[in-house]
Amino acid sequence: MTTIAELSLSTDEFALAETVQQLPALEVRVESVVAEGPVRTVPLVWFSNVDRTELEATLETDPTVDEYRRLLADTEAGDLFYRLTYTEAVASVCRCVYTHGGTVLDAQVSDGRWTLRLLFPHREELSTAVSDIEEQGVRIDVRRMVEAGQDEALETTAALTEPQREAIAEAYRQGYYDVPREISLEELANELDISHQALSERLRRANRVLAGEQLDDPTGEMATLD
Size of the chain, expressed as the number of residues it contains: 226
Q: If you compute the radius of gyration of the chain from its CA atoms, what whole number of angstroms results? A: 20
| pLDDT tens digits for range 171-184 | 888 888 776 778 88
Average pLDDT over residues 44-48: 92
Integer Cα distance of 13 and 182 in angstroms: 33
Average pLDDT over residues 197-212: 73
- Residue-level pLDDT at 15: 93
Domains of the chain, by residue range, sit at 3-147, 160-216
pLDDT category of residue 59 using cuts at 50, 70 and 90 = very high
Q: Reduce the DSSP state of residue 163 to 3 states and report it.
A: helix
| pLDDT tens digits for range 88-143 | 888 888 888 888 888 888 899 988 899 998 888 888 898 899 889 988 888 888 88
- Residue-level pLDDT at 53: 94
- Residue-level pLDDT at 185: 84
Percent of the chain with pLDDT over 90: 26
Mean pLDDT of the chain: 80
- Residue-level pLDDT at 197: 77
Kindly write down the DSSP assignment for every residue of 167-199, as one continuous string: HHHHHHHTTTTSSS-SS-HHHHHHHHTS-HHHH
- Residue-level pLDDT at 226: 39
- Residue-level pLDDT at 54: 95
Which of 76, 122, 77 lies closest to 100, judged by CA?
122
The dihedral through the CA atoms of 115, 131, 180, 213 has a sign that is positive
CB 130: neighbour CB atoms within 10 A?
28
Average pLDDT over residues 28-35: 75
Q: 212 versus 168: which is more confidently predicted?
A: 168
Identify the DSSP state of 102: -
Is the pLDDT at 218 greater than 50? The verdict is: no
- Residue-level pLDDT at 46: 92
Side-chain half-sphere CA neighbours of 171 within 13 A: 21
Q: 95 versus 220: which is more confidently predicted?
A: 95
Which of 99, 171, 185 lies closest to 136, judged by CA?
99
Is the pLDDT at 193 greater than 50? The verdict is: yes
